[in-house]
């Protein structure tokens, strides 16, 4: 079987249950792998060699016939390839060091607001940011990621924790009056856009949260998640993609 290569837009992180999660940054689709599939995935990520992954699985499960292990690996590889998560043949663009977080990378506990953040004198900015975020999320996810990433050209200075907290609080207040869906993806992107309109950089992160385990999106300052002061969230954030 040809070698397998993982495209640069596929990001992964180890889940707290022994498997892993994959994010296709072009489509915005999430995928979950169990611990067995995760072992194969790690080997393909490390070497790109299909047979070495089969050998690793056969060593891990010596009671299983190698022919059965190979058959299962072929079925998994075919399923991943059909979804664009692996590519067989010659390597294309592959991620360089530091382009995605390492397995199990997690952010530290988020900062807790001690006092209400000072409100910048920009009336209507949260409403505008929320509207822009909704429009961005209606685009193909690949284009959304590219446009959000382009803000780096003018957002040279990082947002302060106080500014980030103001953005989070302000856009959540706007979202409460919105008749449609406004969950973590919409709220976090709105906060990022609000800061971008002020020329400040706030990181938009997509990943998972433990206990209860779920997919999540949030804003970060200095690699620390920023949440509403009244939020009782105490889970660990696992970053898969940071923009």
List pLDDT tens digits, range 180-222.
888 999 999 999 999 999 999 999 999 988 766 788 899 998 8
Please say whether the beta carbons of 2 and 50 come within 8 A. yes
pLDDT classification of 171: cutoffs 50, 70, 90 = very high
- Single pTM value for the model: 0.70
Q: What is the model's pLDDT at position 68?
A: 83
Tell me the Cα Rg of the chain: 20
Residue 82, pLDDT > 80, answer: yes
Q: What is the model's pLDDT at position 65?
A: 80
Beta bridge partners of 203: 220
Please say whether the beta carbons of 105 and 210 come within 8 A. no
Please say whether the beta carbons of 218 and 205 come within 8 A. yes
Q: What is the model's pLDDT at position 112?
A: 37
Region 27-34: mean pLDDT is 87
- The residue among 230, 231, 201, 229 whose CA lies nearest residue 216 is 231
Q: What is the model's pLDDT at position 175?
A: 92
Model confidence over 31-78: pLDDT tens digits? Answer: 888 888 888 888 888 888 888 888 888 887 777 787 888 888 888 888
- Per-chain mean pLDDT for the chain: 80
Residue 227, pLDDT > 50, answer: yes
* Domains delineated in the chain: 4-88 (1.10.10), 125-242 (no CATH)
Q: According to DSSP H, which parts of the chain are helical?
A: 35-47, 50-60, 66-82, 125-136, 141-149, 161-175, 184-197
List Cβ neighbours of 196 (8 Å cut-off, separation of 6 or more).
Answer: 151, 154, 155, 202
Sheet of 30-33, strands arranged across: 10-14, 20-24, 30-33
């Amino acid at each position: 079987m040809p070698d397998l290569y993982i495209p640069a837009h596929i990001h992964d992180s180890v889940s707290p249950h022994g498997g892993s999660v994959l994010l296709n940054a072009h489509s915005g689709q999430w995928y979950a792998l169990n611990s067995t599939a995760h072992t194969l995935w790690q080997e393909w990520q490390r070497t790109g060699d299909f047979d070495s992954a089969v050998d690793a699985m056969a060593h891990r499960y010596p009671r299983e016939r190698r022919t059965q292990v190979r058959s299962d690996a072929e079925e998994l590889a075919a399923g991943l390839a059909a979804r664009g998560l692996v590519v067989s043949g010659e390597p294309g663009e592959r991620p360089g060091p530091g382009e995605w977080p390492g397995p199990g990378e997690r952010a530290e506990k988020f900062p807790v607001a001690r006092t209400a953040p000072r409100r910048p004198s920009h009336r209507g900015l949260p409403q505008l940011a929320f509207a822009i975020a909704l429009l961005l999320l209606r685009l193909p996810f690949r284009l959304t990621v590219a446009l959000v990433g382009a803000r780096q050209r003018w957002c040279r200075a990082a947002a302060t924790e106080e500014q980030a907290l103001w953005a989070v609080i302000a856009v959540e207040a706007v979202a409460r009056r919105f008749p449609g869906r406004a969950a973590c993806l919409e709220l976090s992107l709105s906060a990022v856009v609000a800061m971008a309109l002020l020329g400040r950089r706030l990181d938009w992160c997509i990943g998972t949260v433990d206990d209860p385990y779920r997919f999540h999106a949030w804003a970060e300052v200095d690699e620390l998640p920023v949440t509403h002061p009244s939020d009782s969230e105490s889970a660990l954030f696992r970053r898969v993609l940071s923009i």
